[in-house]
Amino acid sequence: MSRPRIGRGRSLVAVVAVVAVGAVAAVGLGLLPTRSSAADGAAPAASTTPRRTATVTKKTMTIEESLDGTIGYAGGREVVGNLAGTLTWRPAEGAIIRRGGRLYEVDGKNRAVLLYGSRPAWRTLDANATDGADILQLERNLKELGYTRKGDHIDRHWDADTTRAVKRWQKAAGLPRDGRVDLGEVAFLTGPIRVTERPVELGNRVGPGAIVLSGTSDQRIISVALAADRADLVAVGDSVNVTLPDGSTTKGTITDEGTVATAGDDQPGGAKSTPTITITIGLDDPKASAAYESAPVDVSVVRETRSDVLAVPVNALLALLEGGYAIERVAPDGTTKLVRVDLGIFQDAWVEVRGTGLQAGDAVVVPS
CATH of the domain at 18: 2.40.420.20
DSSP assignment letter at 321:
T
Using DSSP's 3-state secondary structure scheme, residue 142 falls into helix
From CA 337, how far away is CA 35, in angstroms rounded? 11
Is-contact 327 341, C-beta < 8 A? yes
Are 299 and 312 within one domain?
Answer: no
pLDDT digits (tens, 9 = 90+) for 82-134: 999 999 999 999 999 999 999 999 999 999 999 999 999 999 999 999 999 99
Exposure string (b/e) for 330-362, b if CB count within 10 Å is 16 or more?
beeeeebbbbbbeebbbbeebbbbebeebeeeb
Q: Which pLDDT value is given to residue 302? A: 85
Helix (H), strand (E) at residue 338: strand 336-347
Percent of the chain's residues with pLDDT above 90: 68
pLDDT for 4-44, tens place per residue? 333 333 333 223 333 443 443 333 333 445 666 544 544 44
Is residue 273 within 8 A of residue 261, CB to CB? The reply is no
Supply the pLDDT for residue 290: 85
Asked if 209 and 177 sit in the same domain, the reply is yes
Digit-coded pLDDT (tens) for 126-176: 999 999 999 999 999 999 999 999 999 999 999 999 999 999 999 999 888
The verdict on 183 and 200 lying in the same domain is yes
d(CA 149, CA 353): 69
Residue 4, domain member (yes or no)? no
Helices (H) and strands (E) in the chain, counts: 3, 23
Under the banding of pLDDT at 50, 70 and 90, the label for residue 240 is: very high
Q: Are residues 87 and 209 in the same domain?
A: yes
- The reply to whether 107 and 152 lie within a common domain is yes
Indicate if 174 and 90 belong to the same structural domain: yes
Domain that holds residue 271: 66-73+220-303
pLDDT at site 87: 97
Mean pLDDT, residues 313-339 taken together = 93
Question: Same domain, yes or no, for 24 and 81?
Answer: no
360 within a domain of the structure (yes/no)? yes
End-of-domain residue from the set 279, 303, 327: 303
Number of folded domains that form the chain: 3
CATH number of the domain that 184 lies in?
A: 1.10.101.10
2 in any annotated domain:
no
Q: What's the predicted TM-score (pTM) here?
A: 0.67
274: confidence class by pLDDT, cuts 50, 70, 90:
confident
Q: Could you tell me if 204 and 242 lie in one domain?
A: no
Domain end residue (candidates: 269, 287, 303): 303
Contact 228, 274 (CB under 8 A): yes
β-bridge pairing 363-366 and 325-330: antiparallel
Q: What CATH number is given to the structural domain containing 276?
A: 2.40.30.170
Element (H, E) at 295: strand 295-313
Same domain (yes/no): 274, 333: no
Q: Is residue 194 part of a domain?
A: yes
* Residue 70: exposure state from Cβ atoms within 10 A (0-12, 13-18, ≥19): middle
**Do 310 and 277 share a domain, yes or no?**
no
pLDDT for 348 beyond 70? yes
Average pLDDT, the chain: 86
Query: Residue 309: CB partners within 8 Å, gap ≥ 6?
Result: 58, 59, 60, 61, 344, 345, 352
pLDDT band at 270; cut points 50, 70, 90: low
3 state DSSP class of 269: helix
Q: For the segment 188-233, what is each residue's pLDDT rounded down to a tens digit?
A: 999 999 999 999 999 999 999 999 999 999 999 999 999 888 888 8
Residues 115 and 176 in one domain: yes
Q: What is the pLDDT of residue 19?
A: 40
For residue 26, give Cα distances in angstroms to 160, 271, 312, 323, 340. Answer: 87, 37, 19, 13, 19
Backbone angles phi, psi at 91, to 5 degrees: -75, 160
